[in-house]
């Protein structure tokens, strides 16, 4: 018996056809669609077509594939992309790795003609022992790891298959991810210097913090929503969790929220505590802090009605990017912890977007300045910005936004800085958004959680 797993993100034109094909195929007893926070009705269409729909735990194709693996009941698992068209009726019966690869680093795999087709079948017992890359490098990573393990592989001709076209920028991002994984595996299996790989990863990661790159990722939104991370999206603080994992809680307490230190100096002191900690420990800590109720759901709901949603935090980008993917947000703004060979150096690059010549005159680093920069670059008035935070460092940003929400505020001053206070579930923000539309005499729109 076969379990079909389909990772999806906004595949409404094709998902029903793909699910229907899978369900009609012999041997298939379940079709699992793993949604990455779609805002175009893909989950609803998949469910109507007969699939079991689950929400991914982390934004990214590879993470969704791994979630589907652990949800699958059968030993044979077949992955399909949700944007496929031109599928042949006997596709599922092949249950084989579907498209091939020619790689200079792995000449023994030269007979594999296309490694990136998105159609992969394997035994669950094999897949559970492999590392799933969380992005578009997952297909080639699995192929190379299976080959290295000595497992039997085969490829099948499934005919002509089409994917929805992608923008040049999206294709560029995919290409970087695939190249990074190939180089990583070449290094892991003794075919390349590891230091080269780590430097490629580090340069790619730092580029996410460049404001020009961030603005390109935001695009031209109708409206903007900015969320604090610690205490707002997360039920806790990332650095506290990290410190607990590496036995630095006592040292952290000396600097955390210290009024004696300027914000930039406090950030540098905290960064120094974590020198020598592997990046994987940072990432694991960011994934382990529980989300507050409604965190992912409210982000997806806002994106459905035209918002670009960003995380603005005075923590580290390595954590902010993990949380961004957990809640399906569009971008994140944070300070950059520097790593060398995958190990934290203790040196940090302060986020330039938190400084603005015409911004906050009270704090040397302030989230208000991020809001100002974004409004300047996007030509957007602050009235079209929604800001959500929980503590005093968020107050300036909340006062400047057209609509602001204090979520479980930790002080009266923070509550006073916001238009609204929400205590229980972040989805309650949507009700305040509707009333704001009505007061502003804007077109009425129904805002419902997913």
Yes or no: say if 101 and 112 are a contact pair by the CB < 8 Å rule: yes
The reported pLDDT for the residue numbered 146 is 84
Percentage of the chain lying above the pLDDT 90 cut: 54
Of residues 48 and 142, more confidently modeled: 48
pLDDT classification of 197: cutoffs 50, 70, 90: low
Dihedrals phi, psi of 7, to nearest 5 degrees: -75, 135
CA angle 162, 164, 169 (to 5 degrees): 125
CATH architecture of residue range(s) 208-439: 3-Layer(aba) Sandwich (3.40)
- Residues 196 and 405: their CA atoms lie apart, in Å, by 45
Among 22-26, 122-126, 150-154, 315-319, top mean pLDDT goes to: 315-319
Yes or no: say if 119 and 193 are a contact pair by the CB < 8 Å rule: no
pLDDT tens-digit profile of 233-252? 999 999 999 999 999 999 99
The reported pLDDT for the residue numbered 23 is 92
Percentage of the chain lying above the pLDDT 70 cut: 78
pLDDT tens-digit profile of 356-393? 887 788 888 999 999 999 998 888 999 999 999 999 99
Question: Phi-psi bin for 294: left (phi > 0), alpha (psi -120 to 50), beta?
Answer: left
- SS3 for the chain, per residue? CEEEEEEECCCCCCHHHHHHHHHHCCCEEEEEEEECCCCCCHHHHHHHCCCEEEECCCCCHHHHHHHHHHHCCCCEEEECCCCCECCCCCHHHHCCECCCCCCCCCHHHCCCCCCCCCCEEEEHHHHCCCCCCCCCCHHHHHHHHHHHHCCCCCECCCCCCECCCCCHHHHHHHHHHHHHHHHHHHHHCCCCCHHHHHHHHHHHHHHCCCHHHHHHHHCCCCEEEEECCECCCECCCHHHHHHHHCCCHHHHHHHCCCCCCCHHHHHHHHHHHCCCCEHHHHHHHHHHCCECCCHHHHHHHHHHCCEEEEEEEEEEHHHHHHHHHHHCCCEEEEEEEEEECCEEEEEEECCHHHCCCCCCCCCCCCHHHHHHHHHHHHCCCHHHEEEEECCHHHHHHHHHCCEEEEECCCCHHHHHHCCEEECCCHHHHHHHHHHHHHHCCCCCCCCCCC
The CATH H-level superfamily of 2-127 is: Spore Coat Polysaccharide Biosynthesis Protein SpsA; Chain A (3.90.550.10)
Averaged pLDDT score across all residues of the chain: 82
**Cβ contacts of 296 within 8 Å, gap of 6 or more:** 37, 55, 326, 327, 328
Q: What is the mean pLDDT of residues 176-181?
A: 71
On the 0-12 / 13-18 / 19+ scale of CB atoms within 10 A, 389 is buried
The reported pLDDT for the residue numbered 435 is 62
Q: What is the mean pLDDT of residues 324-333?
A: 95
Of residues 344 and 207, more confidently modeled: 344
Yes or no: say if 319 and 234 are a contact pair by the CB < 8 Å rule: no
The reported pLDDT for the residue numbered 157 is 58
- Residues 70 and 222: their CA atoms lie apart, in Å, by 38
pLDDT tens-digit profile of 128-148? 888 888 777 787 788 888 888
Domain boundaries, the chain: 2-127, 208-439
Yes or no: say if 163 and 83 are a contact pair by the CB < 8 Å rule: yes
CB atoms within 10 A of CB 364: 13
pLDDT classification of 332: cutoffs 50, 70, 90: very high
């Amino acid at each position: 018996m076969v379990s079909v797993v389909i990772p999806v993100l906004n595949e409404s034109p094709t998902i029903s056809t793909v699910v229907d094909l899978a369900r009609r195929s012999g041997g298939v007893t379940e079709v699992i669609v793993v949604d990455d926070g779609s805002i175009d009705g893909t989950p609803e269409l998949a469910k109507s077509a007969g699939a079991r729909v689950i929400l991914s735990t982390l934004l990214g194709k590879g993470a969704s594939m791994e979630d589907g693996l652990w949800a699958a009941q059968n030993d044979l698992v077949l992955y399909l992309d949700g944007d496929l068209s031109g599928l042949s009726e006997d596709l599922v019966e092949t249950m084989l790795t579907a498209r091939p690869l020619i790689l200079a680093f792995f000449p023994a795999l030269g007979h594999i003609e296309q490694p990136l087709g998105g159609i992969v079948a394997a035994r669950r017992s094999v897949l559970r022992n492999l590392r799933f890359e969380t992005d578009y490098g997952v297909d080639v990573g699995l192929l190379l790891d299976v080959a290295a393990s000595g497992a039997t592989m085969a490829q099948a001709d499934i005919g002509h298959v089409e994917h929805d076209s992608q923008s040049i920028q999206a294709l560029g991002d995919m290409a970087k991810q695939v190249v990074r994984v190939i180089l990583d595996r070449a290094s892991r299996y003794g075919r390349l210097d590891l230091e080269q790989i780590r430097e490629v990863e580090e340069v790619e990661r730092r580029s996410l913090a460049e404001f020009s790159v961030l603005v390109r990722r935001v695009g031209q939104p109708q409206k903007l929503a900015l969320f604090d991370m610690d205490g707002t999206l997360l039920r806790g603080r990332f650095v506290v969790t990290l410190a607990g994992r590496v036995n630095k809680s006592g040292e952290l307490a000396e600097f955390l929220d210290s009024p004696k230190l300027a914000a930039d100096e406090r950030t540098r002191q905290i960064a120094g505590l974590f020198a020598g900690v592997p990046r994987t420990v940072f990432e694991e800590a960011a994934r382990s802090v529980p989300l507050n109720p409604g965190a992912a759901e409210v982000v997806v709901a806002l994106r459905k009605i035209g918002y670009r949603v960003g995380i603005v935090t005075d923590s580290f980008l390595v954590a902010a990017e993990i949380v961004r993917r957990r809640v399906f947000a569009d971008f994140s703004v944070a300070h950059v912890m520097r790593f060398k060979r995958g190990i934290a150096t203790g040196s940090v690059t302060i986020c330039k977007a938190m400084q603005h010549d015409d911004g906050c005159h009270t704090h040397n680093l302030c989230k208000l300045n991020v809001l100002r920069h974004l409004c300047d670059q996007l030509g957007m008035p602050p009235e079209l910005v929604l800001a959500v935070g929980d503590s005093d460092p968020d107050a300036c940003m909340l006062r400047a936004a057209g609509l602001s929400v204090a979520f479980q505020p930790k002080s009266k001053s923070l509550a006073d800085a916001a238009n609204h206070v929400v205590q229980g579930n972040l989805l309650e923000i949507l009700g305040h958004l509707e009333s704001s539309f009505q007061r502003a005499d804007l077109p009425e729109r129904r805002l419902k959680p997913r």
